[in-house]
Amino acid sequence: MRRALVGELHAFVGAWPPRHRASTGWGVPLVGVASARDPLFLELKTVASPSHLCPADLLPDARSVIAFFLPFERSTGLSNISGDMASAEWAEAYVETNELIRAVCGHMKGWLEAAGHVAAVTPPTHDFDEVTLVSAWSHRHVAFVAGLGRFGLNNMLITESGCCGRFGSFVTSLELEPDLRPEAEACLYRHDGSCHRCVTRCVGDALFTDRFDRHACYAQCLQNERVHVALGGADVCGKCLVAVPCAFVDPVARRLQR
């Protein structure tokens, strides 16, 4: 069943760009599975926020949580390297990927229901509290539980395909074997202190080695939203995700392979 689910998700994402005339290109989606009863979900109330939901809050009969990562094509990340403001391609990728994540979740919910299961979905973003800037369902924490990667100094979850891309997740009554979580760090700073490039790349005075000012970051994202107003709701930046070793690969795994 897992193979069928992953195959369905891959096929849906693969068919999306031509059908919807998307400007953005995506690499092969990564999919991770967590048990809805994984004790780490309860820990998210301490690690992420006290209001963080558990899978059963979204779906009383929750058995599995599926997280997926849609990596951007390299050209999208490369387009965002120069200058202080986000590139038009990066802003458009944000808008188009949010739309795709919503569609993937809706499609997979229907697919699961047709197979006799139930599912619950949450939006890709813009579901956060405007004052605290924290969401009650953090996709990257959920993806962490589902084994898709490890957190970097830039706050991103770094997957085997790097961190330039976006996450979605949904909860289902279908029981699936959970994935193992990677044991090794994926961030070079956390691995051996050899990198802090994301901090030097930050254009919003928001990211430091010992703290992150989410309000300063949001102010920078809102500046870009004003520049890309025609796209509607493109509160982006992402300078700390590009021209960094973890943009498109897990740099620790890459180094250990050499």
User: Which residues in this chain contact ligand SF4 in the complex, by CB under 6 A?
Assistant: 152-154, 187-189, 195-198, 202-204, 206-207, 217, 220, 237-240, 244-246, 251
Q: Are 163 and 252 in contact (CB under 8 A)?
A: no
Task: Find the helix packing angle between 88-114 and 2-20, rounded to 10°.
Answer: 130
Binding mask 55-94 for ligand B12 (x = CB under 6 A): ---------------------------------------x
Phi, psi of 71, rounded to the nearest 5 degrees = -75, 140
Q: How far is the CB of 74 from ligand B12 (least distance, A)?
A: 15
Distance CA 221, CA 219 (A): 5
Binding mask 21-50 for ligand B12 (x = CB under 6 A): --------------------------xxx-
Distance CA 22, CA 13 (A): 11
**Partner from ligand B12, ligand SF4, none binding residue 181, C-beta < 5-8 Å depending on class:** none
As given in the structure block, the two tokens for residue 199 are 């901090």
* Cα of 258 vs its chain's centroid, Å: 27
Residue 13 vs 252, nearer CB to ligand SF4: 252
Nearest to 30 by CA among 148, 178, 152, 179: 148
Q: Does 238 bind ligand B12 (CB under 6 A)?
A: yes
Residue 76 vs 173, nearer CB to ligand B12: 76
- Type of residue found at 66: I
End-to-end CA distance of the chain: 35
Residue 35 vs 80, nearer CB to ligand SF4: 80
Q: How far is the CB of 19 from ligand B12 (least distance, A)?
A: 22
Residue least distant from ligand SF4 (Cβ): 204
* Furthest C-alpha separation in the chain: 50
Q: Which spans of this chain sit near ligand B12 (rule: CB under 6 A)?
A: 47-49, 94, 124-125, 127-128, 133-135, 137-140, 144, 151, 154-157, 163, 166-167, 207, 214, 217-218, 221, 235-238, 240-241
